[in-house]
Every structure is written in C-alpha cells, then in structure tokens.
Amino acid sequence: MQRQLMSELIAWKSRANRKPLLLKGARQTGKTWLLNKFASQQYRNVIRFDFMLEPSARSLFDGDLDPKRIISQIELLSGQTITPADTLIIFDEIQEAPRGITSLKYFNELAPEYHIVAAGSYMGLALRRENESFPVGKIDQLTMRPMGFTEFVRAVDGNPLADAILAADMNLLANVTEKLEHLLKEYLVVGGMPEVVSAFAATRDFIEARRLQQQIIEAYESDFGKHAPARIVERMRLVWKSLPGQLAKENKKFIYGALRPGARARDFEESLQWLMDYGIVHKVPRVSALRAPLSSYEDLSGFKLFCIDTGILGALSNLPPTIVLDGSAVFTEFKGSLTEQYVAQELLLQGKSPAYWSSTSGNAETDFAIDHMGAVLPLEVKAAENLKAKSLKIACEKFKLMRCVRTSLAAYRDEDMLVNIPLWEIGQIDRLA
C-alpha cells in the first residue's frame, strides 16, 4: 500500500526550518506502518521507542528535559550512536509519555539538528491528564486519517487508475465510469482503515472486512473505559452508537434528544469532546452565512457529527456488506448517509475544514461549504439520480456566490456557476471547482 502522507514526510525531512514532527491520528489509521516505511526509505539508521510496549522507556523524560541528556539516554538504551542527519528518532505511542510531547519544544529550541517524529493518539487527553502543556508553535504537525478513495484504488486496483484520479484526467476517466462506480461502492463498504483495506485487497472478502471492522470498533469502545473519566463513559457510548441514526435523518443535524429522553447539550458536551479528541468522530459546524472565512460565522448551536470512516459507519449501522451487489443502493441507503460521510472524509483528507449552512426558514441547506481561494464554495451531495440543486441555487443567490459544486454519480460538467464533480473525483475539488 501507499499513503499520500508519505510525500509530506519527505518534504518535512528536506525543510531547512524543520521542527520536531507530531503525527496525530486515531488508532488503527496506519501511523506506525507509515513511519517505519518512511524511516527505511529515507534514513540510514532509525531508533524507535514504543512507549506502550516499552513502559520502562518512559524514564527518558524523568527529570529535566535537556535534549543533550535525552539523546545520551537514547544512545545508552539503544546501543547506537546518533548522527543527526542520518538517524530518525521515533517516539511511538507518545501519549503514554506526555512529558515526551513537552520535550519536543526543547528539541526545537536547543537541538533542532535532530530528526524526531512523535506519533500517537488522544495526545490532548494525555497532556491534560498529566497537567502538561502542548508545545504550540514549536513543532510541525500532520494528521493521519483513514485511507482515501484514491489510496484505496491504488491498493486494490493498482497505480494507473489511481494516478488518473489524482491527475483529474476527466477524458480518460470518462471511459471507465462503471469501474469507478463499482470501486466506490466497494470503498463505501470496506472503508479506509488500512488493516481492512489490506485484507480486502488480498481476498475481496466483504465478510472478512466486516469482521475486522467490528474488531476495530471493539478496540475503540474498550479505550473509552481505559482513558476517559468513568462518569462520562456511558455517555460516550450513547453518542458513538447514535451516529448511524443521526446521519440517517433527512436533516443530519446532531440532535441531543435522540440520545435519550430529555438529553441536553450540557449533559453530553464533555463526552462528545472526548470522542473528538480520540479522533473517531468529527464535528462539522453550521454557519449562519456563506461568507469567508467560514469560521467567523460558526453557529455553535448546530452541527453534524461524522464517523472516522465509511466502513466503520457501515459496521455500526449493521449494513449488510452484500449491498454492493444491489445496484446503487449503497449510495442512497440510510438517506445517503454513507455518501455524505464519504464526502466529509475526502474533504478532511484534503486539509479542508468543512461546514454546512441551512436557512432560518428551513427551505434550503447546503450539505457542506468550504473556504476556497478567498471565497466560499457551497457543496451539495447527490446520492440519487435526481440532480436538481434547488438549495444550491437559493444559497448562491442569497450570498451572491459565483460558484457552487454538486457531487454525484453523473459525469463532470462545468455549467458556469454550477460544476458537477463525480463522487470519485471529489478529492480533487481544488483542481476542478
């Protein structure tokens, strides 16, 4: 498998003003695999500590955080001499050693010649628990997410088609639309968790993919009790289990009352924040206006809550994997929730911060909106064959927008104000919009 984040790691290595790198991401997204591959391809030597498997190594950060002392300890523990430019130092599962996160600040200030990558999950939670501060401005950061559609295509079908998708070669792709639609149906069910994709690429077995997805869900739910305060664990489970129902509504706005009778926002805000810190849910806020920057118009009273991965959402929904054999049903099932989940994932993978807008009267809503080249780009997701974009037109007229996007199974079309981008190409929205 290949991960698109590899190119960003290589760019980080070459940067003159490189800082220690923090690779964030939920469990099971492939952080360790990627760093090991990066190290083997780009460095003569690698020293790796896994603070979950090697608790004794946490002593590296006992006492002061002087980089010279820590480097000496690393050399003693590893039995290797560190040559800064040729050695990659990996601090894996760094959340188990929160002072290690703090130490990155001092490596940046006092010993920037060392190449250090720290990787982990729920690091914000770990820092708060140990009363440590986050080294803001002193580190570089990357976020590891599940594999996107193009990465999935590369894993299961090979490089040529994946390269054509990345190149947005619409003339070439027009000849393979049936194949692309079939692969996208598979992706909606299999998702992008690397272990699941690897198994599916080898076997094409949807049942095995679902078994692995259930294992991942069980691991996530097991983590709730290990790390979160006991008083909110049950509320975390309620929010997590409610995702399929919340997204299966026509209006996908998150409703606290759907969690249990009488539920209020203040009762669940902390549990929701923990799930977000884990990286397994993502909040897409409502905005009161489609004006740039969108963050200035966030309406804190409304949001949609998406899952980490389409495959995980399908497993939570008990969606039968065989739905891929049923025409286009996978795109429209549960009010198109898997399709909208997919688009949210692709936008996040491109570094976007998606929001959504709905009118106060309720007669119009854009599924998403993103900041784009100094303006705002509203986006409507069409899972069914009906391509009418009434809400988009209302939004564009109300806010005098020059451009809007519909994404659907239909072919690429640029109709002046409205551009239709095929679902399988939405990851290239910057190039096509």
- pLDDT for 197-245, tens place per residue? 999 999 999 999 999 999 999 999 999 988 889 999 999 999 999 999 9
- State both tokens at 225: 């009790």
| Residue in the block written with tokens 């190409």 | 425
Q: Which of 310, 231, 226 is nearest to 268 (CA)?
A: 231
- For position 209, what pLDDT does the model report? 97
Q: Among 86, 111, 143, where does a domain finish?
A: 143
Distance of CA 177 to the CA centre of its chain: 26
d(CA 175, CA 197): 25
Classify residue 374 by its DSSP letter. Answer: T
Full domain range(s) for residue 361: 149-432
Distance of CA 214 to the CA centre of its chain: 19
Same domain for 345 and 294: yes
| Residue in the block written with tokens 């919009």 | 433
71-110 confidence digits (pLDDT tens): 999 999 999 999 999 999 999 999 999 999 999 999 999 9
* Residues 334-346, mean pLDDT to the nearest whole number: 93
Question: Please, are residues 224 and 232 in contact by the beta-carbon 8 Å criterion?
Answer: no
Q: What is the DSSP code string of 55-111?
A: GGGGGGGSS---HHHHHHHHHHHHT----TTTEEEEEETGGGSHHHHHHHHHHHHH-
Same domain for 124 and 168: no
Same domain for 129 and 115: yes
- For the whole model, what pTM was predicted? 0.94
Classify residue 433 by its DSSP letter. Answer: -
pLDDT at 387 over 80: no
Same domain for 129 and 206: no
CATH number of the domain enclosing 32? 3.40.50
Q: Among 105, 126, 143, where does a domain finish?
A: 143
pLDDT at 125 over 90: no
Confidence at 361, pLDDT banded by 50, 70, 90: confident
277-307 confidence digits (pLDDT tens): 999 999 999 999 999 999 999 998 899 999 9
Counting the structural domains of the chain, the total is 2
According to DSSP, the β-strands at 87-92 and 45-50 are parallel
Residue 383: C-alpha distances to residues 53, 78, 328, 337 (Å): 44, 54, 9, 9
pLDDT at 42 over 90: yes
* Residues 155-180, mean pLDDT to the nearest whole number: 95
**Hey, which of 29-43, 310-324, 355-369 has the most confident mean pLDDT?**
29-43
